Structure 1
């Protein structure tokens, strides 16, 4: 007799997913930026405002290669990711894709949702004919960096500093990671 497995999957997001994506995003950002952003900024994040933006984005993406993927547990959104062409000045928007956002509900991490999303992002970017993928993460996020390193991502030397509040009071240093989407490993090159 086999043990039952959880009903988990990743699929392209639908317009009806906007509110659930927004709820995960706000919860994840409140957790991720708790030590960075002022408490009043985090408290003012309203999932309804985020949902309206997601509805518009899902209905009219800026580029045909922009994709939103959701990680599901049964029919509940547990995480999401956004892919599209890379936009950094030193990248090629034809050959380089990007994971623009990767968030998992903090109460449901370490259950495979992030791994499934990263794999689905790579497959989606490859299907969109990108040869390389990049993503940005806070330079202090050793957990996420380790997670992505295990999935074949590595720093490419690029770094930046973001001004999260627009007034210079909250800055986040980020590093860029990359991975080859061609499916070839170093021994095949």
Structure 2
């Protein structure tokens, strides 16, 4: 394997991030989200969205690279109250110290090479530096690869679920939570 690394994203990376999102959703999420939802993404202004995300205060976007290739990305920051609240809307005692991994994608052809683990460990370190004590992530229940990845990292479902309507199908997501004390092995 070539040199693998994680680095902060810059606005010069938005085209690659958008490409990875489109390719990964096409390959891994069409069956989960539906063809229409994925086709809508292809036509969206993802580059503009990623430009805003990279510049958003308190948000960190990390890129995984292998050699000269950008192969994945992760977005993390403080978890909004709506992302950590219980189903009845109550907030846990540690809501202010909870980080959100909003997205973690590795292009499928680069999978199983440690990129997702490096991205999560880097995001966790950044969240800890910002004062977070634990993290949360939402994963479609049907995304067995991502669920398995987070479980191997020590994260587990906390019992909270939500359902998203893609206009074509209903997607049940599970909230996972876990430690930010992650280290690469």
TM class by smaller structure: 0.7 to 0.9
Counterpart residue number, 1:68: 61
Counterpart residue number, 2:102: 100
The one of 13, 25, 29 equivalent to 2:25 is: 29
Residue 49 in structure 1 maps to residue 38 in structure 2? no
**Residue ranges of structure 1 left out of the alignment (5+ in a row):** 184-189
Counterpart residue number, 1:79: 72
Whether contact under 8 Å (2:32, 2:142) holds in the other structure is no
Q: Can you list the C-alpha shifts for 1:132-189, whole angstroms capped at 9, x where unaligned?
A: 1000101122222121111111111111111123xxx421001111112367xxxxxx
**Quick one: structure 1 residues 44 and 95, their matched pair in 2 at CA, closer, same or farther if it must change by over 3 Å?**
closer
Counterpart residue number, 1:39: 35
Counterpart residue number, 1:109: 111
**Quick one: structure 1 residues 43 and 163, their matched pair in 2 at CA, closer, same or farther if it must change by over 3 Å?**
closer
The one of 17, 20, 23 equivalent to 2:16 is: 20
**TM-score for the superposition, normalised by structure 1:** 0.83
CA distance in 2, matches of 1:19, 1:98: 24
The one of 116, 130, 133 equivalent to 1:131 is: 133
Superposed displacement of residue 44, structure 1: 4.6
Counterpart residue number, 1:187: none
Greater Cα radius of gyration, structure 1 or 2: 1
Q: Larger relative contact order (C-alpha < 8 A, sep ≥ 6)?
A: 2
Superposed displacement of residue 54, structure 1: 1.1
Q: Can you list the C-alpha shifts for 1:70-116, whole angstroms capped at 9, x where unaligned?
A: 00112321000000111223355520101000101111111111111
CA distance in 1, matches of 2:43, 2:123: 24
Whether contact under 8 Å (1:19, 1:48) holds in the other structure is no
Count of residues in Structure 1 that have an aligned counterpart in Structure 2: 173
Counterpart residue number, 1:11: 7
Report the structure, 1 or 2, having the larger helix content: 2
**Residue ranges of structure 2 left out of the alignment (5+ in a row):** 86-90
**Quick one: structure 1 residues 149 and 47, their matched pair in 2 at CA, closer, same or farther if it must change by over 3 Å?**
same
| Secondary structure, aligned partner of 1:57 | helix
Whether contact under 8 Å (1:80, 1:117) holds in the other structure is yes
